[in-house]
Amino acid sequence: MTHARRRFLILAATLFVALGAGAGASRAPLAILSAGPTGEVASLGDAAEIRVEFSEPMVPLGRTPAAVTVPFFAIAPAVKGTFRWAGTTTLIFTPAAPLPFATRYTVRITAAATAASGNTLSAPYTFTFTTPTVRLLGAGWYREGGRVDGQIVVGLQFNQPVSAAGAAPHIGLAYAPHEWQAPAYPPAALARLKAVAADAVAAFERKTAATLEVAGRDGPIAFAPAAKWDTDRFPASDHLVILRSTSAPPPESWVAVNVAPAIRGLAGRATPGEAQSYTLQLEPAFFVEGFACHSQCDPSDWNPIRFRVPTRVAPVAKALSVADITSATAPVKPASAPAERDEADATPAVTLEDAGFAAQPAARRYAVTLAPSLQSADGQTLGYAWMGVVENWHAGAFTSFGDGHG
């Protein structure tokens, strides 16, 4: 070998070693690209797998072992489960059983994690997640005895097992202020009512003011966990808390259910950390809304008296009086007995025909009065004399000649 050739080979070997050393010095350490779940998961299903994605292959391609052991993975509290690799970079841990609710877990990947290339993590990697804490899913209510003077029974549905004794200290019921609009009196009816029964207008205004006061309330409502309740309405469940008010909130009340951030369930100790609320709208106050039509009415149309709370036909018929005021005032007598209905069949709309009167003829003007003693199906008393005036037009005014116009 010539001297020149020997010198060339020495230089080439030196350059190869130098390039190899430089490449090794610039190699990036192993890293974790993503890991999860993190934070509070929405459902237990979201914690059915724990995934860790590495920046480079952790096992040789095509040589993934059937039984995977991962000494660099730790979870606390301890969870039994199995490991598998998805591809060569993603580690998946599957718990042997669904994780319990309201539990905070810490997952640690130690620096001993080693890639197939020999690269290791520069530092341990830690992340945390929490299974679902107690969440209020919904609420319902009913009145004891089905009447307005009964206490309210409130059913609260949660996303996981809870105990009434443990949850009740973290729950509050309170009146929720809200807007309320009194029914409007048509001018013709109001003018006639003032002329014939001024005290009825005053009674209506008093009831309106009292209802506005209820709608504006915002104080607490006392309650206690219920020992028994209507299980047809609220079937027994360990996800359910039943409360019973100690007094009867009045009609037109809205009730806010407030759940404190520290509420806990039976499965774990983690808490939501934020307040939750749900608003229940109790039954409306009993008012007469009025006729569907009060002027220029088609006599062939259905024109009921509408109520804000359902009532029954028989009490309406008893409280009802009708006068024909087209020219002079002439009382109108019922033509038959009220329509027969099941006693439990309450309705928010009753026609004159339902109450036993003949249909109002065309081209006639009726004044219809309801006595203040009228009661709704839930036991509310109207409390003021109501009057409605209905003016029917001639039947011929609504006859169609085929072009879509009367």
User: In this structure, are 242 and 330 located in the same domain?
Assistant: no
Residue 374 counted as domain residue:
yes
User: In this structure, are 354 and 275 located in the same domain?
Assistant: no
User: In this structure, are 169 and 79 located in the same domain?
Assistant: no
Residue 188 counted as domain residue:
no
For the chain, the domain total comes to 3
What whole-number distance in Å separates Cα of residue 151 and Cα of residue 368?
A: 35
CA triple 217-137-260, angle to 5 deg:
55
Residue 127's nearest CA partner among 236, 189, 53 is 53
What whole-number distance in Å separates Cα of residue 156 and Cα of residue 175?
A: 17
Give yes or no for a contact between 329 and 316, defined as CB atoms under 8 angstroms apart: no
Classify residue 181 by its DSSP letter: -
The total number of residues shown for the chain amounts to 406
- pLDDT at residue 64, rounded to an integer: 67
User: In this structure, are 259 and 325 located in the same domain?
Assistant: no
Residue 327 counted as domain residue:
yes
Q: Which of 235, 254, 281 is the last residue of a domain?
A: 281
User: In this structure, are 353 and 367 located in the same domain?
Assistant: yes
What whole-number distance in Å separates Cα of residue 369 and Cα of residue 321?
A: 5
pLDDT tens column, 109-154 = 999 999 999 999 999 999 999 999 999 999 999 999 999 999 999 9
- CATH code for the domain in which residue 230 is found: 2.60.40
Residue 318 counted as domain residue:
yes
Supply the range of the domain harboring residue 238.
136-178+216-281
User: In this structure, are 147 and 64 located in the same domain?
Assistant: no
Give the sign of the dihedral formed by CA 299, CA 302, CA 307, CA 313: positive
- Bridge partners of residue 372, in order along the sequence: none
- pLDDT at residue 278, rounded to an integer: 98
Residue 195 counted as domain residue:
no
Please count the other Cβ atoms lying within 10 Å of the Cβ belonging to residue 101: 23
pLDDT tens column, 331-368 = 999 999 988 776 668 999 999 999 999 999 999 999 99
Query: Which segments of the chain have a pLDDT < 70?
Result: 1-26, 63-64, 342-344, 396-406
Q: Which of 259, 281, 303 is the last residue of a domain?
A: 281
User: In this structure, are 322 and 377 located in the same domain?
Assistant: yes
Tell me which residue has tokens 């809205």. 254
Residue 13 counted as domain residue:
no
Tell me: cis bond preceding 29? Omega within 30 of 0 counts: no
Return the exposure string of 46-67: e unless at least 16 CB atoms fall within 10 Å of the residue's CB, then b.
ebeebebbbeeebbeeeeeeee
Which of helix, strand or coil describes residue 127? Answer: strand
pLDDT tens column, 363-391 = 999 999 999 999 999 999 999 999 999 99
- pLDDT at residue 10, rounded to an integer: 40
- 81-86 and 39-40 as β-strands: parallel, antiparallel, unpaired? unpaired
- pLDDT at residue 345, rounded to an integer: 82
